[in-house]
Amino acid sequence: MGLGLKLPTIYNVYLVAIIATLGGALFGFDISSMSAIVVTDQYINYFHNPSGVIQGAIGSALAAGSVVGSAIAGPLSDKIGRRDSIFFACFFWLIGTSVQVACKNYGQLIAGRVLNGFTVGITSSQVPVYLAEIAKAEKRGSLVIIQQLAIEFGILIMYFIGYGCASIEGPASFRTAWGIQFIPCFFLMLGLPFLPRSPRWLAKVGRDQEAIAILANIQANGNVDDPRVIAEWEEIVTVMNAEREAGQGWRKFVKNGMWKRTMAGMTVQAWQQLAGANVIVYYLTYIAQMAGLTGNVAMVTSGIQYAVFIIFTGVMWLFIDKTGRRTLLVYGALGMAFCHFVVGGVMGAHHDNVPEGVGGNANIVISVHKGAPANTVILFSYLLIVVYALTLAPVCWIYAAEVWSLGTRATGMSMAAMSNWVFNFALGMFTPPAFVNITWKLFIIFGVLCVAAAAWFWVFYPETCGKTLEEIEILFGDEGLKPWKTKKGESRLAAEIEAVKARKTVENEIEVHEHEHKNDEKV
């Protein structure tokens, strides 16, 4: 990255996003590298049928490493840049994957997943920041949502790789699956040097000419005199100057109303975890076995979930910038609550206790009655994923990337991601024991939390869709509207572009007039 080589730079923002979001694919690969493996005989026998707290520790090790990675991601990104911080993180992925492939016991497996989590902590926080900072305001949501799609494609691909590897005898089964995690990291490291740096980060560190050139290449095919480029650059400079006067250190996260944005960025990520969809994403294989599905049928049923995830997030990619963030968050949380209540209610009313574990799996201690009850549980588990894919899955990452000021964005997004990973870790530790101890009541708890999330979104989150990152500053300021009175769009950038055009027209007329006056004097 710093060898002095001059590489060609890619400025097509969607191609940039596809390369950058391979960081999301790493996350997806690591999630389903466990999802497809934990129910196989090879894994259960080699690691001595881990259950309860031990399985919780294995599952949540990724989140533990991610907490640390996201904690250092902001200062690192502000120091070396968004792009280079992602590249730096990849080295830990290579080490962590090596440890997992070579592990001899669950302690080494946990260590490898912690190292992989360190990478994911950095990439999950800084890829959305990078994409938000290079995107046009009206396209920002569709660009950042590519990160969520990359996560989901990573989950789907790795799940079926794990499913295929399940036919390999012995430990080579899971070692092969985990070794394939090297591949997306290799392509990410190969592509990153060809991506532009964030123009807003360049402005922040005083490299104005580079920032303007990259902004022009992204927004106007290299025309630095384009009114849009001029208007957006002037807005960046104005906001940046105001931020430099606002305070240093941690004060800038609470001073002058910034506490509202800090609260919004961190809580939206916490609620994404507390909504409970990851229980389905991580452990649908368990739920499928509770519903009486076994063997290949259970594995394929769980795999279909990931395909559904991608399809409906892909649908939302087409509409994310046409639909308000608040609308999706509020109604998405309520829809998820309904699904949780149905799954928990049906499980509670129609199950048998199996203390020895369904199919010998110590994590699954109830069996849902076959027929309508089992089918309802599977159907509403799928429906919960559909609602999640359309709403909280993409929107929570988009919203968290939008709410920060330029001076706080990298560290702020790191704090938001850290909030996500702290709750991810807590739920990862809580869920396997909860399946054993409170069984169906787990889903009722998540349903109640989803209702609380909807109320929180309604009261505290202003609408950010269609606004420039600089305009969002006003929404959280003292002069901003109450959150429930804000609407999508209504960006002032269009007016500023017109103002620049009018100013340039006047300047051109003055130049023409002065030129004619000089010619008259010569005559």
Listed residue (37, 30, 94) closest to 62, CA to CA = 30
**CA-CA distances (angstroms) from residue 273 to 38, 202, 276?**
21, 33, 6
Longest dimension (CA), the chain: 106
Distance of alpha carbon 178 from alpha carbon 155, whole angstroms: 13
H or E segment and range at residue 68? helix 52-80
What Rg value do the Cα atoms of the chain yield, rounded? 25
The full length of the chain comes to: 523
Tokens found for residue 397: 């990452």
Q: pLDDT digit of tens for each residue in the chain (523 aa)?
A: 544 557 788 888 888 888 888 888 888 887 777 777 877 889 888 998 887 788 888 888 888 899 899 889 888 998 999 999 999 999 999 999 999 999 999 999 999 999 999 999 999 888 888 888 887 766 777 777 888 888 888 888 888 888 888 889 999 999 999 999 999 999 999 999 999 998 888 988 889 999 999 989 988 888 888 888 888 888 788 777 766 655 566 677 777 678 888 999 999 999 999 999 877 777 777 888 888 887 777 778 777 888 888 899 888 888 887 888 899 999 999 999 999 999 999 999 999 988 888 877 787 889 999 999 999 999 999 999 999 999 998 899 889 888 887 677 778 888 888 898 899 888 878 888 888 888 899 999 999 999 999 999 999 999 888 777 667 777 887 776 788 888 876 555 455 555 565 665 666 666 656 666 666 665 5
Cβ distance 393 to 24 under 8 Å?
no
| Alpha-carbon dihedral 146, 152, 156, 161, rounded to 10 degrees | 80
Residue pair 74/413 in contact (Cβ under 8 Å)? The answer is yes
The whole model's pTM is what? 0.76
8 Å CB contact between 120 and 27:
yes
Spatial neighbors of 3 by CB under 8 A, at least 6 apart, are: none
Token pair 């202003």 is found at 462
- Gap between the Cα atoms of 423 and 401, Å rounded: 18
Burial of 338 per CB tally in 10 Å (0-12, 13-18, 19+): middle
Integer Cα distance of 497 and 215 in angstroms: 15
At residue 522, what is the residue type?
Answer: K
Please state, in angstroms and rounded to a whole number, the distance separating the CA atoms of residues 110 and 231. Answer: 50
